[in-house]
Chains A and B, each alone.
Chain A
Amino acid sequence: MAAGVAAWLPFARAAAIGWMPVANCPMPLAPTEKNKRQDELIILNVSGRRFQTWRTTLERYPDTLLGSTEKEFFFNEDTKEYFFDRDPEVFRCILNFYRTGKLHYPRYECISAYDEELAFYGILPEIIGDCCYEEYKDRKRENAERLMDDNDSENNQEGSMPSLNLRQTMWRAFENPHTSTLALVFYYVTGFFIAVSVITNVVETVPCGTVPGNKELPCGERYAVAFFCLDTACVMIFTVEYLMRLFAAPSRYRFMRSVMSIIDVVAIMPYYIGLVMTNNEDVSGAFVTLRVFRVFRIFKFSRHSQGLRILGYTLKSCASELGFLLFSLTMAIIIFATVMFYAEKGSSASKFTSIPASFWYTIVTMTTLGYGDMVPKTIAGKIFGSICSLSGVLVIALPVPVIVSNFSRIYHQNQRADKRRAQKKARLARIRVAKTGSSSAYLHSKRNGLLNAALELTGSSDDEQHISKSTSLIESQHHHLLHCLEKTTNHEFIDEQLFEQNCMDNSMQNYPSTRSPSLSSNNGGSTSCCSRRNKKTTHLPNSNVPATRLRSMQELSTIHIQCSEQPSLTTSRSSLNMKSDDGLRPNCKTSHLTTAIITIPTPPALTPEGESSPHPTTNISTTCSNIVKVSAL
């Protein structure tokens, strides 16, 4: 159990008071505290480092932990110090805040650890001084992105959520193809058709073979029908896919506004427009232009490729840098085009006919392409031309690293996301192991405890008793809590293997289960998990010797007959012996008499048949009426 949670144990134990009114059996005794409760304090200050400051310094900010009366909770009487079990490094920054009024964020500190410390001391992060605020915000944003990635992948990989309707299932299948094989098939089929469509568009324009008439025809016109059929098929698939996505989307309006859906629409619209307008010759020019949009189908691949999505996201996130690049380029182009135009105005047969015509030269020069279709001929033109190409290199080189670093950051984050997913799986496995560890610790100590009780009762030597004394007080209290729960519900905790074995044993009708020393206090109904009936109640006292004997001995010391259980042999015997015991509690009275009634007439050998009755509750009801008669007798 985690050390921090141990502090909540008194609360959990106290809350068990809710079980008492409905407990069937008496609660076990609480473990006594052998030694007085020690303070868990080590008499130091912030984890050993002593800081000293005036009280008035702290009281400057009365709405924080240190400035208010909340710190009295951390006062240690013996050493007259305030002890905080926190990080002394971060505490240095926090105390400086009180002294100077400025809160700084140290670069080497982890952002979430720092945030936690601030939360503990009741300080708002917004107070961080300007000198450190940028860094803080950047790190926080990175962390938030990382967490969002985590959450997204977590949501995607959650185990089957049972109550998904068709729409939600479809949407999940579309968004994450790895959820089911059908989704995967769909994913690959659409990918294949996108590829087919794109290749068709490309091949359509390739000239293939001559036709009598000496004209080179592109394949599109030669095999017009085949291409048309292919196109139709692809568009039908895309339409169906789009409509299905539209149906499954949780928010249709948002879906229709999203980029991917616009691409989908743009990819299929030309076909339909073409269908509608095939006969109009004058708009066929526009129709041909529309075919260009078919190339947008290639963008549909971005659903299939993570890298493309990252690229798109990078461009989106670098929008401001791109905008700056564009703006500065435009400025430079206009300046240099004007200069070149006026410089070349004098020379004859110059290609620089106008300023817009010089734009082409400027762009080609600034991007260092240098086609050579336009070259300056005058000396002034050549000088300005060289200045133009030199400055072009600078202007383009400036914003590019920002874009590159953004891309690299996002790309690496994606790589890390996969690593984190694997780590998370390992972490969950560790948590599961810890959980089973704690529950098996309880079972283990229970067995030891019973063994010790047996030894005590049989008066054997005391050294074996020390076996289980090594558990700490907290552990013993925790085990006591679990024991109380068992007593309340009259069922016991067992580990998985025993449970499986029980089920298997109970499913075999031929022989009575060896576990039916369910004579103990702790059993509920005698029916098995697999709807067997009462064979289990036949008890064979020779099975599980220590446990059985202990349980029967426990019976002798306490009274615990469950109302709804089928009475079993030993119980009846012991209860007969104890009928005169007036320690009976009201809630057990009924069953006690029930036992007596049922078992008196039947000889032990016939107990199994005698006890076979259709339903436990009817059993009780019939015997309830009998109780009156018997007691009247």
Chain B
Amino acid sequence: FRILPCCLSFCSVDSVEDEMEIATVRHRPEALELLEAQSKFTKKELQILYRGFKNECPSGIVNEETFKEIYSQFFPQGDSTTYAHFLFNAFDTDHNGSVSFEDFIMGLSILLRGTVQEKLNWAFNLYDINKDGYITKEEMLDIMKAIYDMMGKCTYPVLKEDAPRQHVETFFQKMDKNKDGVVTIDEFIESCQKVSNDKLI
């Protein structure tokens, strides 16, 4: 994809009289046919997705701030910024700090139309915060805390301080078969497939 940096000049902080030209980066996605071939969506679905995407981000890319804002509208009661941060890193496959429409479509294609294996792969990628191929207990704890943060304060029953930790204890023991302190992708997929509760989507 082509990224067009427009006038890249800096804005002066001291006085407003200086010309404030902000660097803008515009991004145009690949052609519709190409995306249709690469993902599992039809043309119509891609059209609808792109329109929504472009409406929120006219410049064609989502940066983390916008992402967090959008996500927080779905979870009004809690604080979804941490989970949105992890999600953003999972979508931003080339780690350049922004999610383009291609990244978005690739991620969605896996999540909505992928096989169970692919979905679990994606979930593993989400949990593995530093992308080193192993999920440690700390990483899982971070994710869990982020999920619990989304619940907010007004829950029933009242959220205890160590609820995430207990949650993690249980699941980590279950997943870590060889008790080496980390969960690899195979252990992850194996333990999740046993549960087979893919009823979400």
| Interface of A toward B, CB cutoff 8 Å | 1-2, 4-24, 26-30, 39-40, 63, 65, 68-70, 72-75, 77, 85, 116, 119-120, 122, 124, 126, 137, 140-141, 144-145, 148, 317, 435-436, 438-439, 478, 481-482, 484-486, 488-489, 491-496, 498-499, 502-503, 506, 515, 518, 522-529, 536, 563-564, 585-587, 590, 616-617
Contact = CB atoms under 8 A, between A and B. Distances in A.
A47 to B, nearest CB: 14
Contacts of B194: 586
Contacts of A8: 52-53, 56, 70, 74
A528 B59 CA distance: 48
11 contacts: A7-B51, A13-B201, A14-B201, A17-B122, A73-B46, A119-B24, A119-B58, A485-B151, A492-B157, A515-B156, A523-B156
Contacts of B90: 18
A19 B167 CA distance: 12
Contacts of B75: 482, 485
A489 to B, nearest CB: 6
B174 to A, nearest CB: 6
A580 B200 CA distance: 27
Given A72-B31, A145-B16, A494 B48 contact: no
Contact of B195 (A145, A526, A585): A585
Main secondary structure of the interface of B (DSSP, over half): helix
Contact of B123 (A20, A485, A563): A20
Nearest to B2: A63
Contacts of B17: 141, 317
Given A18-B87, A120-B54, A484 B200 contact: yes
Residue from B16, B46, B71 whose CB has the most chain A CB atoms within 10 Å? B16
Contact of B20 (A75, A140, A587): A140
Contacts of A439: 76-77
Given A18-B126, A141-B17, A141-B20, A506 B158 contact: yes
B160 A20 contact: no
Contacts of A563: 166, 170
Given A73-B32, A489-B151, A495-B154, A23 B48 contact: no
B47 A438 contact: no
Interface string B161-192: 00100111111001100000000000010011
A525 B52 CA distance: 41
A73 B49 CA distance: 9
Contacts of A69: 31-32
A1 B154 contact: no
A11 B108 contact: yes
Contacts of B198: 20
B76 A587 contact: no
Given A72-B31, A435-B76, A439-B76, A522 B156 contact: yes
Contacts of A19: 147
A22 B175 CA distance: 10
Contact of B74 (A12, A137, A145): A12
B160 A527 contact: yes
A523 B155 CA distance: 9
A119 B24 CA distance: 9
Q: Please give me the 8 A-B residue pairs with the lowest Cβ-Cβ distance, nearest first.
A: A7-B52, A14-B111, A435-B76, A529-B158, A491-B155, A499-B154, A73-B50, A494-B156
Given A12-B74, A485-B75, A7 B55 contact: yes
Chain A interface, DSSP helix/strand/loop, else mixed: helix
A27 B197 contact: yes
Contacts of B6: 124, 126
A40 B51 CA distance: 11
A141 B12 CA distance: 13
B48 A7 contact: yes
A587 B170 contact: yes
Contacts of A124: 6-7
Contact of A489 (B20, B49, B71, B147): B147
B138 to A, nearest CB: 15
B197 to A, nearest CB: 5
Contacts of A6: 52
A75 B108 contact: no
Contact of A18 (B143, B156, B158): B143
Given A7-B53, A11-B108, A18-B90, 12 more contacts: A7-B56, A8-B52, A17-B111, A29-B199, A435-B76, A481-B74, A488-B147, A524-B163, A526-B157, A528-B158, A587-B174, A617-B169
Contacts of A489: 147-148, 151, 163, 167
A613 to B, nearest CB: 15
Given A72-B32, A524-B163, A498 B170 contact: no
Contacts of B112: 10, 14
B74 A126 contact: no
Contacts of A40: 48
A323 to B, nearest CB: 15
